[in-house]
Amino acid sequence: MQEWFTAAEIAELPSRHKLKGLPATSQGVNALAVREGWHLAASNVRKRAGRGGGVEFHFSLLPDAFLSALQADHSRALELFARSQRPAQQAATIAVTAMNARQRSVMEARAAVLGAIDAYQIMHGASQRQAMLNFISEPRDFDVGETVIVRANDRANDERAISLRTLQNWMRLRDTGGIEALAPRATRDSKPISDAFMAFLKYYALPSKPCATEALERYRENLTDRRLDLTLDEVRYTLRTKLNNIEKHVGREGLHTLKARLAYVQRSTDNLLPTTIYTADGKTFDAEVAHPVHGKPFKPEITSVVDVATRRCVGFAVSLKENVIAVTEALRNACVDFGIPAIFYVDRGPGYKNQTLDTDATGLMARLSITKMHSLPYNSQARGIIERFNGSVWNPLARTLPTYLGEPMDREAAKFAHKKTRRDIATYGTSRLLPSWSDFQDMCAKAIATYNARPHSGLPKFVDQETGKRRHMSPNEAWSQFASNGFEPVPVETELADDLFRPYEVRTARRALIEWNGNTFFHADLEAYHGERVMVGYDFAQAEKVWVREIDRTDEGEEPGRLICVAVFGGNKTDYVPKTYQRAAEERRAKGRLRLLQGKVADAEAELGPVGLIEHSAVAQMPIIEASPEPITDNVVAISPAIQPKRRTFASDVELALWAIDHPDELTSNQLRVLRDCLTRPAALELFRMSGVDVEALRAVIRAAA
């Protein structure tokens, strides 16, 4: 224990131990020394060694309160020193997690008793032995209840008396092994899980989730060693006491279901700035809309991009399915309108793992210096922001439409809407229940604007100046707050924005023309590149022009080089309107389906017999000639039946449809029935369209004839 103290060291004791009425400054301590005459005792005052001078006082001159504080510091120092000398202390600290309720309760009670003895020793300046004896004789003088004493003694008969030897033993255990050493040993060691039960799990840990009785029966049927037999009570006891809530479901539940039982970890976005992380996800819309090409009912795919810091939806795209086209369009809108993100956090869907996004030469991530991160499989919770966005924006929008097909939808109403839309499409080509493609896009844009302006519970609260009440910020307000504090997003340069999302393919220029996707594009600057290979960049949604660049060869391979020109559509193609990349793919798919349909039609016609059968017509009845009294002369007049015109026949339904459009007034009821039946069959409609039949004009003819 330190014996000599300077005035500054003595002044630290009141503030550290919260002692009142004692000086807490060097000047106050020196004034106290003058008043108490500390300088008169020469043996208790000495000059301070080393530079700086000053004097030091012996601890015997200090008041009792100071001595108690010094004793407390000394006891704490001894305990810290004892702990530093215990190499196994870390192992003991970890072992406390394996204690049961009884061991932990007794340990805490004994620590409370020893703590009360330490406090009594400090406050009364008594020795440790004297403090223990006083505790044994008068435990009420210590700040410990009888319940704690009984718990610390840990006797079956609730004995309150604690011997001096017991207290000394507890002190020794605490000083040598820490508080954890005060815990009593377990009354009996826990037996490990038996080999028999581990073999039983083979019949219990199955996805079919058999009960313990069924699994035990199968286990016994295949048991060869009767020494490994189990009883139902043993099985249930092991399941209840030996396995935790995760272990008892392993094998019986899949990884996705099992993950819901694991610890929930919430990710904080407090230290993020806007555009630091964009997260995106595709969602199949839960209602049917009109297809943009053929107008039939289908469920579109919506890809949304959300800023993690502000929860603001910065971009979205509506497409026929989740693919690279939808992802790039949504990301383009987000980057051009709101800034380039540092991280693009997505799942492992096909729209996010592809060459267009990943390739170092032409990929979007490399060109924008964006780091793409993928979430782990079965880990949608890690992308809870975008999952919540989909549930709070697109699901409510789908429920506003009569063609909603979500789980809460009434089956009868869904069945009625399904039949009506198909019947309307077959009869009129459209249905009032189906929103058009343009109307649906407008609905999506309005839903996004409403979401961005609505308060979000994941954002901080503030006092609304209009209402005077505290509420959560909206995504727009959170973004504006960052902007008012000086935040500026990383913009997409104007020159880069026009050519940013262009995937490139290698083509050969010939006579100032570039052929791509079945279209021909022309520019006069391509004359100098006749017969040379160039890079052609295209846009998925634009078909009027392509971007032509030179090829630069690097260590990474061939990359787009200097821009040569922007070639526009035109040339010697039969199409009068350029096809987009998507439209060309749809036509290729339709032609393939048509070939299959034509084969089926040919097979059906072959089964019916030769094509172009003549329709049956009634034969005119021969007139009856009555006998004439006049003699028959040589001038005989030939009598022939009345000649009736033949009905027109057609080799196919297509020929009948083309003739019906040109001759609407000559249609018979049988021909109208045949054409009306064709308009209700998708295969016949597809055949009509590919054969050049104006289906809408044909429908008008049938309606007029009806």
The percent of residues in the chain predicted with pLDDT above 90, rounded, is 8
What residues have CB less than 8 Å from 298, skipping those under 6 apart?
288, 289, 291, 320
Whether residue 664 is predicted with pLDDT greater than 60 in this model: the reply is yes
> What's residue 452's pLDDT?
94
> What's residue 159's pLDDT?
74
When the pLDDT of each residue in the chain is averaged and rounded to a whole number, the result is 77
Q: Give mean pLDDT, residues 281-308.
A: 87
- For residues 496 and 461, the model is more confident at 461
Distance between CA atoms of 626 and 638, rounded to whole angstroms? 15
> What's residue 606's pLDDT?
65
Q: Give mean pLDDT, residues 683-699.
A: 81
Q: Which amino acid is located at 296 in the chain?
A: K
Residues 41-56: tens digit of each pLDDT = 667 777 777 656 677 8
State the residue for tokens 């021969």: 622
Considering 107-116, 357-366, 542-551, the range whose residues carry the highest mean pLDDT is: 107-116
Whether residue 455 is predicted with pLDDT greater than 90 in this model: the reply is yes
> What's residue 473's pLDDT?
92
Distance between CA atoms of 661 and 544, rounded to whole angstroms? 34
Q: Give mean pLDDT, residues 174-194.
A: 76
Whether residue 508 is predicted with pLDDT greater than 70 in this model: the reply is yes
Q: Is 507 helix (H, G, I), strand (E, B) or coil?
A: strand
Burial 649-666 (b: 16+ CB within 10 A, else e): ebeebbebbbebeeeeee
Considering 123-127, 196-200, 569-573, the range whose residues carry the highest mean pLDDT is: 196-200
The percent of residues in the chain predicted with pLDDT above 70, rounded, is 73
Q: Give mean pLDDT, residues 326-342.
A: 83
Residues 211-232: tens digit of each pLDDT = 989 989 999 888 888 788 888 9
Whether residue 100 is predicted with pLDDT greater than 80 in this model: the reply is no
> What's residue 477's pLDDT?
93
Helix (H), strand (E), coil (C) string for 604-669: HHHHHCCCCCCCCCCCCCCCCCCCCCCCCCCCCCCCCCCCCCCCCCCCCHHHHHHHHHHCHHHCCH
Nearest alpha carbon to residue 235 among 253, 211, 252: 211
Whether residue 557 is predicted with pLDDT greater than 60 in this model: the reply is yes
Whether residue 432 is predicted with pLDDT greater than 60 in this model: the reply is yes
> What's residue 448's pLDDT?
94
DSSP state of 20: S
State the residue for tokens 């050519």: 499
Whether residue 429 is predicted with pLDDT greater than 70 in this model: the reply is yes
Q: Give mean pLDDT, residues 178-191.
A: 73
Residues 400-411: tens digit of each pLDDT = 999 998 888 888
Least confident of 438-447, 471-480, 596-605: 596-605
